[in-house]
Structure 1
Amino acid sequence: MRKSLFAPGALALAALTLTLAACGSSSTAAGGAASSAATSTAPWPSEITLALIPNEKVGDLVTSTKPLTDYLSQQLGVTVKGVVTKDYQAAVEAVCSGQAQIAIADAGSLAAAQDQCGAVPVLQDVRNGASSYAAEMFTSIGNASKYCTDTPVKATYAANGAQYLYCNGIADGSTNTGVGPKGLDALKKITPGTKVAFGNTTSPAGYQLPVLDLEAAGIKVDSLQQVPVTGNDNLIMAVYNGNAEVGFAYWDARSAIKATEVPDLGDKVVVFGLSEMYPNGGVVVGPDVPKDMSAKITELMGGYDKVDPATLKNIFGQTGWVPADASQIDLARKVTARFAAK
């Protein structure tokens, strides 16, 4: 999952100037131009821009992603430069204003760019072998009897080889896919006044998907004692430390905590439910990019894991890109619309 994080250094500040210029009425203008999007026979531009989102793990994102932009430049025969935008919305505005032709962003931004100006989501990120993920619902082992209909069992989380506790048929000794929805009836056991740890209101896994599932279970979110937490690892620790009875994060956020720091985590926190699958972020191409150029960009980036897997893993935390799934992008659109007025 990508997060909206702090802009790294001067390069990001320079890119911020670019993206701010794209705000305001630019999306409206771009939306009006979407109906006349470039055809496959239109001439290719001599230079295109790839918009990137700030990354807390990478101080100089433009330089770090230079292997990717250099590869695209070489294979496309045009100059591809990277810029770091202020946030996801700025990346959408940049694509819709024509100041960037490609953006790597979250799923909500892929849908937003498509809706605002006819940009095309072409790829989704692959992490841990999947292009989508579930929000997980978890509690402490001391409360397992309340939320679990069976005895919690340990199963291996393939991404790090650690063993964690699961119940309600989510995993067993041989299978742990993290595919939801599962165990959602257990949410009905959350009583008014229960301390529940929520992530940021813009987080699909930490807030939005769980809220939708709570509402579907007949639980009024305002009746709960909400414990606001920033960061998936801190959501886990809120339950581990007893500051909340139930928490929500992405599957399986327990892997974000080093075993050396919390050695008994696998024995103390139990996942009892999984939400509907939510799409990973990915790649969106601007509406005015010639269709044959867009197809080539999609082909090149879709196969980049065979060219330079280290850059994908070290910079983006993923193993590849796969073709975008329209139904999954539509789910991101619906979730965004549900919380837009909140």
Structure 2
Amino acid sequence: MRIFRRLVTVIGALSLVFILGACGKSTSSSSKSYEPKKLTVQFVPSSNANTIEAKAKPLEGLLKKQLGIPVKVSVSTDYNTIVEAMGSKKVDVGFLPPDAYVLAHKQNGAKVLLQAERYDYKEPNDQVTNQLVKDYKAQIVVRKNSGIKSIKDLKGKKIAVQDTTSSAGWIYPAVELYRHGVNINKNNIKTVQVKGHDQGVMAVYNGDADAAFVFQGARLLVQKDAKDVMKKVVPIYTTKGIPNDTITVRKDMSSKWDKKIAKAFKAIAKTKKGHEIISSVYSHENYVDAKDSNFDAIRAYDKTAKKLNQ
């Protein structure tokens, strides 16, 4: 009887060890870093989505050459869609504007790898300088003959805006209105959401909106079709600098692949073909390493933006 009891005890102990070992393996495998066999890259539509997709598609071949795996490039419908896609692991790499990055980092731990550099603009006609900068500015533009001269004149008007996670197309201009005593949600202001900053400019140009929130330089996007846009559409307010767009990866991307992806985009930006692509899509000229704290200014603006609904 004693031998039987001891045998039961030993078998029970061995079973417990086996179960714990299995649990340990399960936990370890569930937290394993992600190493893609095929990389999915997604852009957000800062201008016409179909145009962006056509321009960005050649990146597939360039990235495949750098990384050694197939690459799929696509364009999301809006900022929120790409944030959700990265959270559900349907998208590996996102070209995220700063506010969308902050949201993705907060909601699903997305990691910023790189920050874009662009050539700076000089007012009044968005003349491009030869100085590379890591930030850009938002503008509030109106028709020159509209009689709208300042932020206070926007009360009761119709404003073309981007998605509410857009720094230049919503957050920064809306907060600046608030700081000047105008609440975009309370002062009889009507907002209409358009897809792309070029569409915001054209809404003002065509008289479909009294004003638009756009990034500085957006008027240049439509100058080919609206040659007199610089004369007819003018800025009444320019914000402080906003951190430039990011190249962001999903939370579980391995550190090895973080480095490989960052290195690949830096290398592509320095090639003639690669530079032409990133410049034509987002006016990116180069990529530099980035860290999360670079976007604390965005978080401060987001905090103030919450007061708009109070």
- Report the TM-score range of the alignment, normalised by the length of the smaller protein: 0.5 to 0.7
Query: What secondary structure sits across from 1:248 in the alignment?
Result: strand
| Residue aligned with 1:190, SS | helix
Bigger CA drift: 128-137 or 309-318?
Answer: 309-318
Seen in structure 2, the aligned counterparts of structure 1 residues 301 and 339 have a Cα distance that, compared at 3 Å, is farther
Residues 5-53 of structure 1 show CA distances to partners (whole Å, capped at 9, x for unaligned) of xxxxxxxxxxxxxxxxxxxxxxxxxxx99x9675xxxxx8462423313
CA contact (8 A) 1:200 1:229 kept: yes
The Cα shift of 1:134 comes to 1.4
Change (3 A) 1:206 1:81: closer
Contact 2:134 2:243 in 1 (8 A): yes
Query: Structure 1 residue 328: deviation in Å?
Result: 4.3
**Contact 1:50/1:101 (8 A) holds in 2:** yes
The two structures, once aligned, show a CA RMSD in angstroms of: 3.8
| Aligned-pair CA distance for 1:248 | 2.8
Aligned length: 259
Equivalent runs, 1:223-302 vs 2, <5 Å: 223-226=187-190, 228=192, 230=194, 231-240=196-205, 245-258=210-223, 261-302=225-266
Percent of pairs with identical residues: 22
Normalized against structure 1, the TM-score is what?
0.61
CA contact (8 A) 1:201 1:208 kept: no
Equivalent AA in structure 2 for residue 209 of structure 1? Y
The answer on whether the counterparts of 1:37 and 1:289 sit within 8 Å (CA) in structure 2 is: no
1:66-86 deviation line (CA, Å, top 9, x unaligned): 223212324xxxx24325375
TM-fit CA distance, 1:240: 4.3
Quote the offset at 1:274 in angstroms. 0.8
CA pair 217-66 structure 1, distance change in 2 beyond 3 A? same
| Unmatched runs of 5 consecutive residues or more in structure 1 | 1-31, 39-43, 148-185
**Deviation string for 1:264-312 (max 9, x for gaps)?**
3333333232113223322112333332332232223223211332332
Comparing 46-55 with 298-307, greater Cα deviation is found at 46-55
Match of 2:160 in 1: 198
Contact residue 52 and residue 91 of structure 1 kept, 8 A: yes
Verify the 8 A CA contact 2:61 2:71 in the aligned structure 1.
Answer: no
Report the TM-score, using the length of structure 2 for normalisation. 0.66
- Cα 1:262/1:310, change in 2 over 3 Å: closer
User: Shift of the alpha carbon at 1:126?
Assistant: 2.9
Secondary structure at the counterpart of residue 133 of structure 2: coil
Q: Is the 8 A contact 1:37 1:287 kept in 2?
A: no
Larger of the two Rg values belongs to structure: 2
Other structure's SS at 2:265 match: helix
* Stretches of structure 2 lacking an aligned partner (at least 5 in a row): 1-26, 120-131
